[in-house]
Amino acid sequence: MRDLSLHVLDLVQNSLRAGATFVDVLIEAIPRQDQLLLQIGDNGSGMPPELLSQVTDPFVTTRTTRPVGLGLALLRELCEQTGGQLELESEEGTGTRLSAWLGLSHIDRLPVGSMSETFAALLMSDPLIDYRLILRANDRSFELDTRDIRRHLEDVPLDHPDVQTWITTTIAEQQVIVFGGVLHEIIS
Amino acid sequence: MKSLAELDAIRQKARADLTARNEGSRKVVVGMATCGIAAGARPVMNTLVEEIRTRGLNDVAVTMTGCIGVCRLEPIAEVYESDGSKVTYVKLDANKARRIVAEHLVNGSICEDLTIGAAETAAKNA
């Protein structure tokens, strides 16, 4: 994966396959601790403890098309490479939350990438799923919640072209505002 | 900075031009598992959506799926016609996605050189 937004696109699909109808994504830069936190939570089916304990093993997967699952394994590798770690919490019937801790200034830390492109793909693919995206750095933060957006749209669907454009440009704009001056990859 | 109030204007405009969205008589499915994403499926999907919109193809839905099973040929997209027939395109990028929209979805002529059949023949002859 070239950036964190691609990991998000990949991992959100684990949530969707677990039957989630709401996915919560947080990216927080914590310069004081030199950490970057990526958190994805869902209200999907959750995992039993046996599966949870081995799910970052690349040879453990729920897919049937091939016996290898690299999504979580790649993210764990990335976390550990940058001096961080991947934490997973899950409860059957309630959902799953992953917290990926990365070394903010570590040379191997991937850039955040385009969260707007990731959400464009996700919202287009299934406009019935709800998302909350929070971007945070120091005292700056941005929150987008599709449940609020739906209230304004009433019967207009989330994948209407004008709505999509509004959402993606808003995310792109806010990513620069929130992370400008904090993440070296953002030139603001 | 944008505000949620702008969505109210979008809603009014969207209702005014309710051009009947002809849901799903044709469908494009993009492989978007770890293998597909790492190979560049996101720009393929977003380009397909953009081109389909620009050309006003209201009968084509774009969606994503998991691993299609031939990871070495990703990014992959499958075009399902209204009669249920399917064409599988492999090793895509944004430019090839534009070609598929223009040649296949608009003009109805399959991009033979981008199909899985062409890729496998080429692999055999290599």
> B84, exposed or middle or buried, with CB in 10 Å at 0-12, 13-18, 19+?
exposed
Q: Which helix (H) or strand (E) holds B63?
A: strand B60-65
Is A184 within a domain? no
How many angstroms separate the CA of residue A16 from the nearest CA in chain B?
A: 11
- Is residue B44 assigned to a domain? yes
C-alpha distance from A110 to closest chain B C-alpha (Å)? 13
Q: What is the pTM of this model?
A: 0.91
Instruction: Tell me which DSSP letter residue A181 carries.
Output: T
Tell me: the pLDDT tens digits for B49-95? 999 999 989 899 999 998 888 999 999 999 999 999 999 999 999 99
Interface of A with B in 63-92 (CB under 8 A): 63, 65-66, 69-71, 74
Tokens matching residue B111: 């991009």
pLDDT band at A56 (very low <50, low <70, confident <90, very high): confident
Q: Which has the closest alpha carbon to A3: A143, A108, A119? A: A108
Please judge whether A121 and B46 are an interchain contact, meaning their C-beta atoms are less than 8 angstroms apart.
yes
Count the alpha carbons within 13 Å of A80 in the hemisphere toward its beta carbon.
9
Q: Do A117 and B46 touch (CB under 8 A)?
A: yes
For testing the chain B interface, which of A2, A4, A8, A10 should be mutated: the one with the most B CBs within 10 Å? A10
* Tokens (6 digits) for A96: 């799953």
Band of residue A172 on the pLDDT scale cut at 50, 70, 90: very high
Q: Is residue A186 part of a domain?
A: no
> What's the mean pLDDT when you consider all of chain A?
92
The stretch A85-104 carries a mean pLDDT of: 96
**Order of strands, sheet of A95-103, starting from the edge strand that comes earlier in the sequence:** A85-91, A95-103, A35-42, A22-30, A130-137, A140-145
Q: How far is B91 from chain A (nearest CA, A)?
A: 17
In a domain, B103, yes or no: yes
Give the count of domains, chain A: 1
Mutation site for A-interface testing, chosen from B37, B50, B67 by largest number of A Cβ within 10 Å: B37
CA distance A119 to A96: 20
Across the interface, which of A117, A121, A154 has its CB nearest the CB of B11?
A154
Whole-angstrom Cα distance, residue B78 to residue B90?
A: 9
Domain housing B55? 22-125
Counting Cα atoms < 13 Å in the Cβ hemisphere of B37 gives 26
Sheet containing B26-31: give its strands across.
B60-65, B26-31, B77-80, B86-89
CA A73 – CA A177 distance, rounded (Å): 31
The answer to the question of residue B11 being in a domain is no
Asked if the structure places residue A188 within a domain, the reply is no
- CB burial of residue A95 (10 Å; 0-12, 13-18, 19+): buried
Across residues A86-100, what is the average pLDDT? Answer: 95
Distance CA A77, CA A75 (A): 5
Of B7, B35, B64, the CB nearest to A149: B7
Which helix (H) or strand (E) element contains residue A11?
A: helix A4-17
What pLDDT score does A103 carry? 97
Q: Which tokens belong to A177?
A: 């505002």
CATH number at residue B74: 3.40.30.10
The total number of structural domains that make up chain B: 1
Give a yes or no: residue A185 inside a domain. Answer: no
Domain ranges, residue A168: 4-179
The answer on pLDDT for B1 being more than 60 is no
Classify residue A57: in a domain, yes or no: yes
Does residue B40 belong to any structural domain of this protein?
Answer: yes
- Select the residue from B32, B34, B55, B60 to test the A interface by mutation, using most A Cβ atoms within 10 A: B34
> Is residue B76, in this structure, part of any structural domain at all?
yes
- Whether B12 maps to a domain, the answer reads no
Contacts of B1 in chain A (CB under 8 A): 173-174, 177
* Structural domain contains residue B15: no
Q: Per the domain annotation, does B4 fall within a domain?
A: no
* DSSP per-residue string spanning A69-117: --HHHHHHHHHHHTT-EEEEEEETTTEEEEEEEEETT-TTPPP---HHH
| Minimum Cα–Cα distance from A118: chain B residue | B42
